[in-house]
Structure 1
């Protein structure tokens, strides 16, 4: 017993000395090949699908795949055959397994029904795969395991457990911030609402009960993460901007602004409604033939929807009008008047 104890202690100190002198091999050293990464991810994917099952909705599965494919097309990693699927679970969650396997839980689709919100989530999860976050965690564990495994024998089962644990353990703050940055980049370059990441992050933070893995495996410092995404948007010169005092939210572009959003609609707070509108206007302004006479209004039983061509800009309700002491017709006219002013004012500032 004493002999083995001395042997273990000696090897441990040798290992510590090696770490101090040489450090752990970086993840870029490629301990895990792309094929191995895919194999590990495939096993995780198999377990997830066995546990939860897939939502039996071909249209929804196709929609998620379509969103994911658009994001992959602008990503920095196209060497994988990606898979995007919806798990039949009411959890509000999503996760990415190594090798290109991205899963959205049905509960999250119900909570974030728009393509823009889902693109923000998928773009973030794709970021983890692009930056190989789970793989790097596994490689760090393998570095230790291989050294001790060589000394003590069969390491196969140990390595497999370490791999599974690393995948489900979550990410560091640095990893999460990198995935946020990638998520913004993916949605922005793919042509989705550039405010998608802000809507996604804020809505997740609104949830009273958060899980312990996937999106919530590490959800640190939400305020600072939001500020970083806002910085990415500023660097990308995204306008109009949104300002809020916590109760009302306004879409502004220098001295120009729309009537403030002050009430919630269809589960969206004033801030989120302003984000949707600001982002939609940004996309509208990207139209080479952008001009004011392409804004239009469609009236519905519950309110009015303003479009730029086929791009929805804002939905206005009777509650919006009442909160401002106006009729819906008056509020809609005010919105349209402001929107008709915007192209000229925007061009004047740019000039």
Structure 2
């Protein structure tokens, strides 16, 4: 027979006894004693935040039994069916079930709404960050890039720097028109990577230069990063990383005065490191196509980027897990077979267009 945890109060005024009670033979028995209260001597009261506290009062004996075990209420409703006590217990039990269902529905709606808002916010980030990017003047973008670059220790004197600057300046000289003043730098870093800051600052890691077989491969990487700048991809992704609130704030107030500028600078300062930004497939394609056209116009073969990535993938595969932190560019700019085929097709088209073999 099932027992239910309860507190037993009497007229002595002493603290209640913790007891077990059972519903049996038309009465409530206190387990371990001979004390029992017939149903017809009990008055049922229901309380508690969720209506789940059962209080059974017997005025004749000046005692009360209190329990938060809903099973006791159900047992009384079943055992005393047809009596006033049974009806009260059944009604109270039904209310608890109904209240629990309503609460479950409420929290389902709340959780679903939160998830929907989170998903909507995430999906809105790309179009919002793109919209915000159009509101930011290129001159501010240049200022922002220079501010972020000041946090890096950059090489502006070595032969590697001169090589990168020569290739970069040669490529940008074939841009039709650009609001950016491109600057090229080298950073001493063991990670094979390159990145573009907003406004035209391009940084190539020394490890990448060491891995490049020739100027063709370097030109492939640099022209690709120039493409990201032209399409403002770094700015858009950094805004994406700053979050929905920052984007909405900029849209509502605009970027013009000193206060707004300072807010945006602060937001970018805490955003994810620019060299680890992940671009979308569309953004990579845009950067590839822009970079390819610059390479062909500047007289390069145009296959340097593909050749460089294929070489890096082979080296990464041979090194295994130890290569992961070194070949960062493979994770941020993955060269899929589809992407390589697209580059090769575009390269063929450009060479035919410009009459080059």
- TM range, normalised to the smaller chain? 0.5 to 0.7
2:195 aligned counterpart, secondary structure = strand
Alignment of 1:128-277 (within 5 A): 128-140=228-240, 141=242, 144-145=245-246, 147=248, 159-161=267-269, 163-164=271-272, 168-208=276-316, 209-211=323-325, 215-220=329-334, 222-237=336-351
Q: Contact between 1:88 and 1:105, CA under 8 Å: does it hold in 2?
A: yes
Tell me how many residue pairs correspond in the alignment: 225
Q: Contact between 2:129 and 2:247, CA under 8 Å: does it hold in 1?
A: no
Shift of 1:54: 2.0
Q: 1:85 to 1:172 in 2, by over 3 A?
A: same
Structure 2 unpaired stretches of 5+: 1-109, 254-261, 317-322
Q: Contact between 1:170 and 1:218, CA under 8 Å: does it hold in 2?
A: yes
Q: Contact between 1:127 and 1:183, CA under 8 Å: does it hold in 2?
A: yes
Structure 1 unpaired stretches of 5+: 1-5, 240-281, 286-351
Alignment of 1:21-32 (within 5 A): 24=128, 26-27=130-131, 30-32=134-136
Question: Which deviates more from structure 2 when the two are superposed, residues 214-223 or residues 192-201?
Answer: 214-223
Q: Contact between 1:32 and 1:139, CA under 8 Å: does it hold in 2?
A: no
Match of 1:91 among 191, 199, 203: 191
CA deviation map 1:107-154 (0-9, x unaligned): 111111411111111011111101100112244446532546989xx9
Structure 1: 4+ residue segments shifted above 6 A: 148-151
Match of 1:125 in 2: 225
1:69 aligned counterpart, secondary structure = helix
1:85 aligned counterpart, secondary structure = strand
CA deviation map 1:146-185 (0-9, x unaligned): 546989xx96686244545567432122212222222211
User: Is 1:43 paired with 2:159?
Assistant: no
Q: 1:96 to 1:160 in 2, by over 3 A?
A: closer
**How far apart in 1 are the matches of 2:196 and 2:294?**
15
Q: TM-score, structure 1 length as denominator?
A: 0.53
Shift of 1:220: 3.5
User: Is 1:66 paired with 2:166?
Assistant: yes
CA deviation map 1:85-119 (0-9, x unaligned): 11122322111111111111111111114111111
* Higher-Rg member (1/2): 2
Please provide the CA RMSD for this pair. 3.9
